[in-house]
Amino acid sequence: MTRIDDKVRRVDALEKARGEAVYLCDMRLPGMIYARLVRSSVPRARIVDIKLPELPEGYSFFSAKDIPPEGQNSLLMIAKDWRCFADGDVRYVGETIGILTGPSRAVLKTLDESIEITYDEQEPVVSIDDSLALKGGPILGDDNIHCQLVSEKGGDIERVLEGAARIFEETVETGFQEHVHLETNAAICTLEDGHYTFYISAQCPFYVRKSVAGLLGLKPEDIVVKQTTTGGAFGGKEHFPDVLAGPLLVAESYLKVPICLVFDREEDMLYSVKRHPSKVTFRTGVDKDGRILGSDINVYYNVGAYLSSSYVVLQRGVFHANGVYNFPATRIHGYGMATNTFPSDAFRGFGAPQTLFAVEIHLDHIAHALGVDPVEYKRSYFLKQGDETVTQGHIVEKVVLEEMLSQVAQKSDYFRKAAEYKRGSGRGIGMSFYNHGGAFTGNGEQAIIKAHLRLVKDGGHYTILCGQTEMGQGFRTALRKIVCAVLGVDMDDVTYDNPDTSKVPDSGPTAASRSTMIVGRLAEKAALEMKEHLGEDHYEVETEYEHPDGHPWEQATFKGDAYLGYGWGAACVELEVDPVTNEVHVLGIWSSHDIGKAIDELIVHGQVNGGIIQSLGYASMEKMENKGGHFRQSSMSDYVVPTSMDFPRQEWGLVDNPYEWGPFGAKGMGELVFNGADAAYIDALERALDTEVHKIPMPVEDIEAVRRDG
Amino acid sequence: MVERCFVTKDLDEALRIRKETGAHPLAGGSDLMVQYKQGIGITPVFPWPVMVISGIEELKGIRKLDDGRIEIGALETPSAIAASDLVPWHVRQAASRMGAVALRNTATIGGNIGNASPKGDLPQPLILLDAVVVLRSADSVREVLLDDFIRGSKKTDLHEDELITAIRITEVPYSYAYYRKVGTRRANAISKLSISSLVLIEDGIIKDFRASSGAAGPKVIRSHEVEDLLKGHAVDEVPSLIPAITEGWDKAISPHAMPAYRRGTTARALEHFLSAVATLPPGPVIE
């Protein structure tokens, strides 16, 4: 019998460690052929002409003109502006123009290389600043703004700032980040029992069918999507698999044979979505005692060529721009800017990390200017239960940031070290605080998703049916464990397989740190009901999402409780900078998180370690540059993610703070653990070098510039 | 889609094939298989015939020659080189920091030299030590100073009928040694910059001073003029000579990317090493 506090071995551990798990690129279906996407090589141009070579027998090329009259050239990813195939013009490097299919991938490559595309090129818009300056003329409407919103709290911000004794103005920037999921994007489209069927490495099988059905004028339920074992995602397989699935479906509608498309690592780096680069400006007014009166904040995200899901990303950015702090007045204006770069999309944190980083280091800078310890300064603004949020809602839950701070401060010996290490001594310690709103923003869970889950009993065996996916985060283990712990059975008594949309109810996407909190709750409720029917040989129960009371939200004005609850975090980093080479030696990493309750401590430990290392990589070495519309880094040797040698040792802790509406009190945590170590690292780096940093990442060569320019 | 591929375990046969077909040698494959990859599911395509030489025993082994020089066979791996007591300290340092473990077990010293990348790890300390490369063809054998053999980025003096068979290193005495590699991260990393240096002191006088910089120009940089600035001077004069040396070195290197970082770090590294030397610490390795 498995109890919720047992530490269990992950159910997928052995098959993955032994190499037995079957990933999409391992699959061979009878008669399967291959596909290759033909992509734009320029960022902004009119397509003048496409000249195809003569195609050998068995080879085909499909493009926008092959979409049937009843279909639309559009991939639905919240917004539906992302075209399946470029048509008439191209808007970023790597945009899909067509799809080549045939039996040999070597021949497909040769054919791709002999397609002649003539472009009438225009000056591309690459950065947020390019976009704001309408470089080369607007690319979207007359202002290049894909989406915008404003959230206001407290008095009129201009009046508030007029009354300030001092105003701190600052701009903070963050760069692209690549997901580097170990398994690249991959999909097979085929026909099974008269239905278009996908095998696909993806987070959200139901998103895929919804996104592509319209290409052929079909309904989502006409299409079957089967998730294959997914080797990492981090948000990179939330909407992006649609970009593979769309062209495959169009080709399949003509060819009716299994077609396989697997991205090479280089393709996956150069031609896939990234984290939104950001630029955040602050005008923060303080009174004569240095107390914050209010802050006027502008948040700019580089959305790229298509809006897709970016409006929701931007909303999350705006709603997290105050960090974990209660400022009397804020005006936060968010702008999603159009550029000619690959569309930015979901990435662990989904818009929150950028603004959380910005507000953390902004407060560090203010505290430094005022001559007070940043941690002391920040804690005086900690949000508490009942406090008003930046969306004029309220913090519903108990906030235990003080306990987390004391846990981290004690383990790291922060206060002694902060006082002892002189600024500029080469050694520094820094701390950051952060949160993450769990599940979909606002009333999305209720209004958009309406998750369902089914639990089936056959004799002594139980099967969980839902659309949640395992992508390395441990959910197959966590969900089975929830059911086991309620029913009092063993892990082996419960089956929960990779979802097949024709067999499972739609429980919503595996995203937004919602799986444990929302779907885990549905499983807990289903198991509780099942418990009443243990005597029956066969029993089925289906549970449906119920919105907890007391979370008012008005989507039209973005007012109210933006999230159902928050995970909270505190991280501390101690480091030393090599005076000769600028290499940063991280000496200690300490963290504390409030995730409500850990469903499995081993999985949570893995998430904490991984999230923090990914955040430190984001702050330090993960540099993805875009020059003239082209990404410069195309391999795992030039886009560098950290190894355990870089950040070797972590101490971590949790504070118990059970969440009323989560299974066993659990809240979301997968993204939370990414959201803050970056700021602790930069805080420590600034103290070690006695300087101010206004952008990440900060590899050794950028530290050189900071050291030289002060 | 290899045009032609040969596999041989015999050096004479390899040299004959090389002469007759111009086949390029493939040993560990850690450069060639990457450079000529075609994407997933497609065999690498090489623009010339390829000859797999990894089974040739005559190209293996690390030994001390009768004349006292150390010879490293062209097929020796970084792992073996890093583990050998015969190999000079600087070279072992560089070998131990190349790429990841799998790469260190696969790559070869001959390949690392033949590839002639400015970021290559092994040429830098070898050039510091005036190592020579042994080049054989079916008809001849010659020794060339490695610094002359590598002519620029990806350019060598390898003749069309030759193979690199070994590297020979004359023992270079030193009182103090320094090696630093800055990679893109702390493991499994390509070099952003590397530097080796050594100083020999006899009776308080600098008898030898050498330095070499990797990833600081189209090939490994040495500057005999700058090295001469220190030779013959007393140890207590070293601090006053450091500015001239770092300035001279800065003129010798020509980093393309990240110039400010590479120049700044190279100058600080030399200053750090020589400042330490001037204090006559127990040595010989300066961290």
CB contact under 8 A, B268 and A645: no
Q: CB count, 10 Å around CB of A256?
A: 12
In the CATH hierarchy, which top-level class contains the domain B5-169?
alpha beta
B172 class by beta-carbon count within 10 Å (0-12 exposed, 13-18 middle, 19+ buried): middle
Find the residue in B nearest to A617 (Cα).
B185
A416 phi, psi to nearest 5 deg: -65, -50
**Residues in chain A closer than 8 A to B40 (CB atoms):** 25, 105, 184, 262-264
B287 touches chain A (CB under 8 A): no
CB contact under 8 A, B38 and A106: yes
CB contact under 8 A, B272 and A263: no
Nearest CB partner across the interface for A704, out of B187, B260, B272 = B260
Q: What is the pLDDT of residues B167-178, one digit of tens each?
A: 999 999 999 999
CB contact under 8 A, A106 and B188: no
**Residues in chain B closer than 8 A to A643 (CB atoms):** 185-188
Find the residue in B nearest to A620 (Cα).
B185
Average pLDDT (B267-273) is: 98
Find the residue in B nearest to A640 (Cα).
B184
How many helices and strands (H and E) does chain A possess? 18, 30
Long-range Cβ contact pairs of B56-63 (< 8 A, separation 24 or more)? B56/B8, B56/B9, B56/B10, B56/B11, B56/B14, B57/B9, B58/B11, B58/B165, B59/B11, B59/B110, B59/B165, B59/B166, B62/B86, B62/B87
Q: What is the pLDDT of residues A495-520, one digit of tens each?
A: 999 999 999 999 999 999 999 999 99
Q: Alpha-carbon Rg of chain A, whole angstroms?
A: 25
Residue pairs spanning A and B at CB distance below 8 A: 76
Q: How many CA atoms lie within 13 A of B23 on its CB side?
A: 23
Nearest CB partner across the interface for B192, out of A262, A579, A700 = A700
Nearest CB partner across the interface for A580, out of B39, B40, B272 = B272
Q: What is the pLDDT of residues B120-173, one digit of tens each?
A: 999 999 999 999 999 999 999 999 999 999 999 999 999 999 999 999 999 999
The overall average pLDDT reported for chain B is 96
pLDDT at B283: 83
Residue A550's pLDDT band (cuts 50, 70, 90): confident
**Residues in chain B closer than 8 A to A26 (CB atoms):** none
Q: Is the pLDDT of residue A54 over 80?
A: yes
CB contact under 8 A, A701 and B258: yes
DSSP A545: -
- CA A616 from centre of chain: 16
Q: How far is CA B59 from CA B12, B108, B109, B149, in A?
A: 11, 10, 11, 19
- CA A118 from centre of chain: 36
Angle at CA of residue A151, ends A146 and A157, nearest 5°? 120
Nearest CB partner across the interface for A105, out of B42, B184, B269 = B42
What are the tokens at A11?
A: 């159910």
In the CATH hierarchy, which top-level class contains the domain B176-278?
alpha beta
Q: What is the pLDDT of residues B181-231, one digit of tens each?
A: 999 998 888 999 999 999 999 999 999 999 999 999 999 999 999 999 999
Closest CA of chain B from A624, distance in Å: 13
Q: CB count, 10 Å around CB of A289?
A: 7
Angle at CA of residue A255, ends A252 and A261, nearest 5°? 50
Sequence-separated (6 or more) residues with CB below 8 Å from residue A437: A316, A319, A320, A352, A562, A563, A564, A565, A566
Q: Would you call A540 helix, strand, or coil by DSSP?
A: strand
pLDDT at A549: 87
CB A155 within 8 A of CB A242: no
**Residues in chain A closer than 8 A to B268 (CB atoms):** 579-581
Closest CA of chain A from B196, distance in Å: 14
Q: What is the pLDDT of residues A93-140, one digit of tens each?
A: 999 999 999 999 999 999 999 999 999 999 999 999 999 999 999 999
Q: Is the pLDDT of residue A363 over 70?
A: yes
**Residues in chain B closer than 8 A to A638 (CB atoms):** 184, 190
Sequence-separated (6 or more) residues with CB below 8 Å from residue B267: B246, B249, B250
Q: Is the pLDDT of residue B2 over 70?
A: no
Q: What is the pLDDT of residues B44-56, one digit of tens each?
A: 999 999 999 999 9
B182 touches chain A (CB under 8 A): yes
Q: How far is CA A692 from CA A176, A420, A433, A591, A706, in A?
A: 21, 20, 19, 24, 8
Q: How far is CA A473 from CA A11, A280, A501, B241, in A?
A: 12, 31, 21, 58
Nearest CB partner across the interface for A262, out of B40, B187, B269 = B40
Residue with tokens 């963050």: A174
pLDDT at A709: 77
Identical fold for domains B5-169 and B176-278, yes or no, is no
pLDDT at A31: 98
What residues 208-267 of chain B have any CB closer than 8 A to a CB of chain A?
258, 260-261, 264-265
Nearest CB partner across the interface for B190, out of A25, A580, A637 = A637
Average pLDDT (A255-271) is: 97
Nearest CB partner across the interface for A643, out of B43, B187, B258 = B187
What are the tokens at B5?
A: 């591929």
Find the residue in A nearest to B271 (Cα).
A580
Q: Is the pLDDT of residue A427 over 50?
A: yes
Beta pairing, strands A452-458 & A538-544: antiparallel
**Residues in chain B closer than 8 A to A705 (CB atoms):** 260
CB A246 within 8 A of CB A213: no
CB contact under 8 A, A643 and B186: yes
Q: Which amino acid is at A151?
A: S
SS3 per residue for chain B: CCCCEEECCCHHHHHHHHHHHCCEEECCCCCHHHHCCCCCCCCCCCCCCEEECCCCHHHCCEEECCCCCEEEECCCCHHHHHHCCCCCHHHHHHHHCCCCHHHHCCCCHHHHHHHCCCCCCCHHHHHHCCCEEEEECCCCEEEEEHHHHEEECCEECCCCCCEEEEEEECCCCCCEEEEEEEECCCCCCCEEEEEEEEEEEECCEEEEEEEEEECCCCCCECCHHHHHCCCCCEHHHHHHHHHHHHHHHHHHCCCCCCHHHHHHHHHHHHHHHHHHHHCCCCCCECC
CB contact under 8 A, A643 and B272: no
CB A394 within 8 A of CB A153: no
Q: Is the pLDDT of residue B1 over 70?
A: no
Instruction: Name every residue in A having a CB less than 8 A away from some CB of B.
Output: 25, 34, 105-106, 109, 184, 262-264, 266-267, 579-583, 621, 637-638, 640, 642-643, 645-646, 699-701, 704-705, 707-708
B160 touches chain A (CB under 8 A): no
Of the candidate ranges A663-667, A706-710, B35-39, the one whose mean pLDDT is the lowest: A706-710
Q: Would you call A368 helix, strand, or coil by DSSP?
A: helix
Q: Is A628 left (phi over 0), alpha (psi -120 to 50) or beta?
A: left
Residue A648's pLDDT band (cuts 50, 70, 90): confident
* E-assigned strand segments in A478-633: 494-495, 538-544, 553-554, 559-560, 566-577, 584-594, 626-627, 630-631
What are the tokens at A290?
A: 């240095």
CB contact under 8 A, B268 and A579: yes
- CA A74 from centre of chain: 23
A101 phi, psi to nearest 5 deg: -135, 150
Q: Is the pLDDT of residue A219 over 70?
A: yes
A305 class by beta-carbon count within 10 Å (0-12 exposed, 13-18 middle, 19+ buried): buried
**Residues in chain A closer than 8 A to B269 (CB atoms):** 580-581
Q: How far is CA A271 from CA A310, A450, A630, in A?
A: 18, 33, 10
Nearest CB partner across the interface for B39, out of A264, A637, A643 = A264
Q: How many CA atoms lie within 13 A of B269 on its CB side?
A: 28
Q: Is the pLDDT of residue B3 over 80?
A: no
CB contact under 8 A, B182 and A701: no
Find the residue in A nearest to B269 (Cα).
A580
B193 touches chain A (CB under 8 A): yes
> Using CA of residue A350, residue A351, residue A354, residue A359, what is the dihedral sign?
negative
CB contact under 8 A, A262 and B41: yes
Nearest CB partner across the interface for A106, out of B42, B184, B192 = B42
Find the residue in B nearest to A107 (Cα).
B42
Most B CBs within 10 A among A637, A689, A701, A706, hence the mutation to make, goes to A701
Complete domains list, chain A, with CATH: 13-20+444-544 (3.30.365.10), 31-122+179-270 (3.90.1170.50), 278-441+557-709 (3.30.365.10)
Closest CA of chain A from B164, distance in Å: 27
CB B205 within 8 A of CB B233: yes
CA A181, CA A589: separation in Å to the nearest integer?
24
Q: Where are the domains of chain B?
A: 5-169, 176-278
B9 touches chain A (CB under 8 A): no
Q: What is the pLDDT of residues A457-502, one digit of tens each?
A: 999 999 999 999 999 999 999 999 999 999 999 999 999 999 999 9
CB B187 within 8 A of CB A643: yes
CA A656, CA A364: separation in Å to the nearest integer?
28
Q: CB count, 10 Å around CB of A193?
A: 7
B152 class by beta-carbon count within 10 Å (0-12 exposed, 13-18 middle, 19+ buried): exposed
Q: pTM score > 0.95 for this model?
A: yes
Average pLDDT (A363-382) is: 98
Closest CA of chain B from A580, distance in Å: 5
Beta pairing, strands A278-286 & A166-174: antiparallel
Find the residue in B nearest to A704 (Cα).
B261
Find the residue in A nearest to B258 (Cα).
A701
CB contact under 8 A, B40 and A109: no
Residue A710's pLDDT band (cuts 50, 70, 90): low
CA B96, CA A648: separation in Å to the nearest integer?
19
Q: Would you call A163 helix, strand, or coil by DSSP?
A: coil
Q: Alpha-carbon Rg of chain B, whole angstroms?
A: 20
CA B263, CA A76: separation in Å to the nearest integer?
50
